Amino acid sequence: MTNRHRGGTGLAGIASPAAAPARRIGAGAAVFRQGDPATAVYIVESGRIRLVRHLADGSLVSLHTAREGDAFAEASLWSEVYHCDAVAEVPSRVLALPKPDLLRSLETDQAACLAFARLMAEQVRELRARLELRNIRSAPERVLAWLRVQAAGVPGVVPLDRTWSAVAEDLGLTKEAVYRALAALERAGEIRREAKRVVLRDTGI
């Protein structure tokens, strides 16, 4: 569902004609801290970056977990400072797109601005779909809905390029719950599991 499954954000293309240097972030280290002047938008090359906000009462709230291929802190383009910490959960590599460059691109290059707007609009659509998926409480139904959406290409066939554990995270379920759901769906004849794909029941429509 996220960018890593489509092969990149395209953000880099918009902003940096020249290759930006990748920063290495150790596990637990911060890319930036809340209150730091906002200087760049980032793309995760590898690893996992967690965005957390420190609240007035000292508590923490996680705002986002950016994975390989995801961009983060896009909205900081219009903010003087970062409003959260960006901390690496595992050793990571991030690409920094300097804010001035990006902003200049967007302000002077109409096409770049449109491309960026489009990128964001598509993110919005995708995120809404994910959120809506989570409104399905039943694990089997949630998994089935996910499978159906994934089967967009070849109708009825979901190719699997990721592990079920990763899928489980996207779905907001544990891997065990997903396995059980898959088993139940298969038992019910809704799906058939093959080598590296899942075939949905042919409803004959």
Partner DNA sequence: CGAAACGTTGACCGTTTTCAATTACAGTGG
Partner DNA sequence: CCACTGTAATTGAAAACGGTCAACGTTTCG
Provide the minimum distance between the beta carbon of 45 and a second copy in the complex, in angstroms, as a whole number. Answer: 19
> Is residue 131 close enough to count as binding a second copy by CB under 8 A?
yes
Site string for a second copy, 24-43 (x = CB under 8 A): --------------------
Question: Of these, 61, 165, 188, 201, which contacts DNA (CB under 7 A)?
Answer: 165
Provide the minimum distance between the beta carbon of 53 and a second copy in the complex, in angstroms, as a whole number. Answer: 8
Q: What are phi and psi of 67, to 5 degrees?
A: -110, 180
* Residues 40 and 86: beta-carbon distance below 8 Å: no
Cβ atoms within 10 Å, residue 197: 14
Question: Of these, 102, 173, 185, 191, which contacts DNA (CB under 7 A)?
Answer: 173
Distance of alpha carbon 139 from alpha carbon 133, whole angstroms: 11
Question: Of these, 62, 138, 163, 165, which contacts a second copy (CB under 8 A)?
Answer: 62
With respect to DNA, which residue has the nearer C-beta, 20 or 177?
177
Question: Of these, 4, 53, 180, 197, which contacts DNA (CB under 7 A)?
Answer: 180
Site string for a second copy, 84-103 (x = CB under 8 A): --------------------
Residue 34: CA atoms inside 13 Å, Cβ hemisphere, count?
15
Strand partners, 162: none
The one of DNA, a second copy, none whose footprint includes residue 175, by CB under 5 to 8 A per kind, is DNA
Strand partners, 51: 64, 86
With respect to a second copy, which residue has the nearer C-beta, 1 or 24?
1
Beta strands in the chain (DSSP E): 22-25, 30-32, 40-54, 60-67, 71-72, 85-98, 157-159, 191-194, 197-200
The SS3 call for residue 137 is coil
Q: How many residues bind a second copy (CB under 8 A)?
A: 50
Place of tokens 């489009």: 118
Structure tokens at 22: 């990748």
Positions in the binding site for a second copy (CB under 8 A)? 53, 55-59, 61-65, 74-75, 77-78, 106-107, 110, 113-114, 116-118, 120-125, 127-135, 145, 148-149, 151, 155-156, 172, 200-203, 205
